[in-house]
Amino acid sequence: MKYCTTSILIAILFLASSVHAGAPTCSANSNGYCVYTGKISRIYVNSDNIILLYFDTPVALDVPTVAGLTITTGSAAAFHMDKNQEFAKAFYSTALAAQASGRKVTIQMRNVQSGYLEFDRIWLSAP
């Protein structure tokens, strides 16, 4: 019985750890950038035409300084739709597809928008 209980606990811990992604990481390479791979916990557009994509795990505010970026909020990445409406539409639809299907995305961020990391590309992982 003890072996069965231990096996179940190990399986639960393994599954729980695979559900959450790591926080975004940043690098000084290629003029500095940050990258996030994981699930999207929330995504929306606010009344200022800014898309906000929330990370599964927030980034610590000091981490982006490695890439030369200073942020005030580490829970999400942002993009102002007026900057490039076609990209904003494509990004939003790709992120919604990922969220609806439970798939992971990888996004890169090279600038700051309204205190958030600003995303500028997205990859959708295979199921």
Query: pLDDT tens digit string along 79-107?
Result: 999 999 999 999 999 999 999 999 999 99
Fold of 21-124: OB fold (Dihydrolipoamide Acetyltransferase, E2P) (2.40.50)
Give CA–CA dist 62/79, Å, rounded: 21
Q: Where do the structural domains in the chain lie, given as residue ranges?
A: 21-124
Residue 92 parent element (H or E): helix 85-101
Q: What is the pLDDT of residues 53-84, one digit of tens each?
A: 999 889 999 999 999 999 999 999 999 999 99
SS3 call for 75 = coil
Report the half-sphere exposure of 24 (CA within 13 A, side-chain side).
37
pLDDT of res. 7 = 39
Question: So what's the pLDDT on residue 5?
Answer: 41
